[in-house]
Structure 1
Amino acid sequence: MGIRTSYSADTNFLTIAVEGRFDFSAHQEFRAAYEEADPQPAGFNVDMSETNYLDSSALGMLLLLRDHAGGDGANITIENCSADVKKILTISNFEQLFTIK
Structure 2
Amino acid sequence: MQASCSIENGQARIVLAGDFTFEGHQAFKQATQQVLASEDVSLLSVDFDAVDYMDSAALGMLLLLKERFGERPIQLLKSRGTVRAVLDVANFGRLFQLD
The TM-score normalised by the length of structure 1 is 0.88
Give, as a single letter, the amino acid of the residue that structure 2 aligns with 1:54. Answer: M
Structure 2 residue ranges without an equivalent (≥5): none
Structure richer in strand, relative to its length: 1
Match of 1:25 in 2: 23
Q: More deviation in 90-99 or 79-88?
A: 79-88
Task: Please give the alpha-carbon distance, in whole angstroms, between the structure 1 residues aligned to 2:29 and 2:43.
Answer: 15
Give, as a single letter, the amino acid of the residue that structure 2 aligns with 1:39. Answer: S
The alignment covers a number of residue pairs equal to: 97
* Correspondence 1:86 to 2:54: no
Once superposed, which parts of structure 1, at least 4 consecutive aligned residues long, lie more than 3 Å away? Answer: none
How much identity, in percent, do the aligned residues show? 32
> What whole-Å deviation, never above 9, does each CA across 1:23-51 have from its counterpart, x for those lacking one?
00111221121223353311210000000
Structure 1 residue ranges without an equivalent (≥5): none
Alignment map for 1:3-82 (pairs within 5 Å): 3-8=3-8, 10=9, 12-37=10-35, 38-40=37-39, 41-70=41-70, 73-82=71-80
